[in-house]
Amino acid sequence: MRKPIVAGNWKMNKTAAEAVDFVREIRSPLNRVSGVDVVFCPPFLAIPAVADAVAG
């Protein structure tokens, strides 16, 4: 059986720095979630910063 995917496509107008702060804030509680893959879909201009933040 495939693992479910939970994806969030946010429509908030945040700077890249604000987007990184947001992802770091919600990522911590998600570490306790198991059995699903979680996908963040940030605005285009924030993708590089968010990708760096979640990579480490």
- pTM of the model as a whole: 0.73
The CA distance from 36 to 19, in Å, is 22
Which is it for strands 5-9 and 37-41: parallel, antiparallel or unpaired?
Answer: parallel
pLDDT in tens, 1-56: 889 998 888 878 889 999 999 998 988 888 888 899 988 889 899 999 999 998 86
Q: Who's near 10: CB < 8 A, 6+ residues apart?
A: 22, 40, 41, 42, 43
Give the pLDDT score at 56.
65
Helices (H), strands (E): how many in the chain?
Answer: 2, 2
Give the pLDDT score at 12.
80
The CA distance from 4 to 43, in Å, is 23
Give the pLDDT score at 40.
84
